[in-house]
Amino acid sequence: RLSTLLDHPERLRAMGEAARRHVAEHHAPSQAAEAIIDACREWARLEPVPVSAVPVVHPTSAVWARLDGTIEVDGAETPWPAGERRRLRVRLTNRCRARWLAGERPEGGIVVRAELWRDGENLWAGRPWHRLPRDLEPGQSDEIRLDVRRPLGDDVRLDITVDVLNQDTYFPDLDRPVWRATL
């Protein structure tokens, strides 16, 4: 994005001017400070909640080494004739203590990477990842659908991987759920 903006300085300049206008029109430090003071006063009046009554649920971004979960796929049964198109149902289940954040979040959201391999080449390289449609609490499941046409050839494989979105890249050392089938 920065490269694109730097190639279009008029767009970058317009964005900067819009930001300055927004701050000038809407930013009121005294009101913000008063809102914080009011919130602190309200918080001070609340009864404390025992720590044991608060469930331990961390957001996805708290998961750095292991993303526990399962992937189940319906519709990829063999034999699958070359050229046949199928609509696969991919069911994702969160099995860890962290909440899986919906994929529309720019950082830390859960995405599903689908790769269709033929003769060692990922035919879906460069395709967008599928985003988790909603937050999943520990133990919850949700589904996404994938339209897949089985390519010609004998060495064909479909890989489906759950990942954490981080600037449109993935964490290479993350232990994550993977579903793999030879078609």
Per-residue pLDDT tens over the stretch 44-84: 888 876 766 655 555 565 565 678 899 999 999 999 999 99
How many Å apart are CA 165 and CA 175, to the nearest integer? 14
Whether 6 shows a pLDDT value over 90: the answer reads: no
Radius of gyration of the chain (CA): 23
pTM of the model: 0.65
| pLDDT tops 90 at residue 179 | yes
Q: List the one residue out of 110, 106, 113 whose CA is nearest residue 67.
A: 110
At 114-134, the pLDDT tens digits run 999 999 999 999 888 888 889
| Confidence check: pLDDT of 168 > 70 | no
CA distance 48 to 44: 9
